[in-house]
Amino acid sequence: MRNEQIYEGKAKKLLLTDDKNVLLQRFKDSATAFNGVKKAEFAGKGETNNAISTFCFQKLEAAGVPTHFIERVNDRDMLIKRLDMIPLEIVVRNIVAGSLAKRTGLDEGTVVKEPIVETYLKRDDLNDPHLADVHVFMLDILRPDQLERLKQLALKVNATLDPIFERAGMKLVDFKLEFGLDADGQVVLGDEFSPDTSRLWDLETRRKLDKDVFRADLGDLMEVYHEVAARLGVLPQT
């Protein structure tokens, strides 16, 4: 298998395989926050996020959400379908937290009546600004029907995973998704689903079980990631 690297992000790498339509997605141990300003290494994070993402993608595929996931091939790698990635970060929110609390003045923990879907431009140099739909069209990122489909899928991800996390004793507060287009121009979920890219609170105590532990120095990040994996019944990683 070829393993030429074609992309390195803050938490993952993408490598070529012998099949031009298939990539290897490798989860790194690095964690960053505040657009890379804060950075640290956590031994085992890559393996844990690979396992949690695999679990989530399998649940989503079973629910009819098209994803790039093919299979988990080892501790830190999964095979994925190659997509033409859409330069948007799509955030779904069930509970007010993070930037939504800052932007609206609502208290963290306020329940959002209907889950909302937000669109941010994936541009580190601009600090990922929030976009209205008119800007998505103005920038020629997606057609209206594609944006509509993407939002529908984002809500379906929420409707699928929220009860699964709830049964595991966690509230899915919010999360970020990235989508791509396949060869037929169909919108497909890419990237990852992990505690790096979501907020998960203990249902009873509201203890944070996600990357906010790193962002705000609240404790041992790997301890909470292992707890998420254990609660989901994903094999504990060492």
Nearer to ligand TMP, 17 or 227 (CB): 227
CB atoms within 10 A of CB 227: 18
Q: Partners of 20 in the beta sheet? A: none
In whole angstroms, the minimum distance from the beta carbon of 184 to ligand TMP comes to 27
Q: Find the binder of ligand TMP among 45, 176, 208, 226 (CB under 6 A).
A: 176
Rounded-to-integer distance, Cα 42 and Cα 224, Å: 12
d(CA 134, CA 181): 20
Residue nearest to ligand TMP (CB): 98
Q: Which is nearer to ligand TMP, 17 or 192 (CB)?
A: 192
Sorted by sequence, the CB contacts under 8 Å of residue 227 that are 6+ apart come out as: 209
Closer of 11 and 70 to ligand TMP (Cβ): 11
CA distance 232 to 163: 12
HSE of 118, CA atoms in CB hemisphere, 13 A: 18
For 140, the 3-state DSSP assignment is: coil
d(Cα 31, Cα 210) in Å, to the nearest integer? 11
- Looking only at residues 177 through 216 of this chain, which bind ligand TMP when binding is defined by CB under 6 A? 197-199
Shortest reach from residue 92's CB to ligand TMP, in Å: 8
Per-residue x/- track, 101-140, ligand TMP (CB under 6 A): ---------------------------x------------
Is residue 175 a contact point for ligand TMP (CB under 6 A)?
yes
Q: Residue 145 CB, nearest distance to ligand TMP (Å)? A: 25
Q: Residue 174 corresponds to which amino acid?
A: D
Interface mask toward ligand TMP for 65-104; x: CB under 6 A: --------------------------x-----xxxx----
CB of 91 to ligand TMP, least distance (A): 5
Q: Of 74 and 110, which has the nearer Cβ to ligand TMP?
A: 110
Say how many residues touch ligand TMP, by CB under 6 A. Answer: 12
Q: Binding to ligand TMP by residue 53, rule CB under 6 A?
A: no
Q: Where are the alpha helices (DSSP H) in the chain?
A: 45-62, 98-104, 133-138, 144-167, 212-215, 221-232
Binding residue (CB under 6 A) for ligand TMP from 170, 174, 188, 208: 174
CB 146 within 8 A of CB 187: yes
CA–CA distance, 94 with 110 (Å, rounded to integer):
9
Residues that bind ligand TMP (CB under 6 A): 91, 97-100, 128, 174-176, 197-199
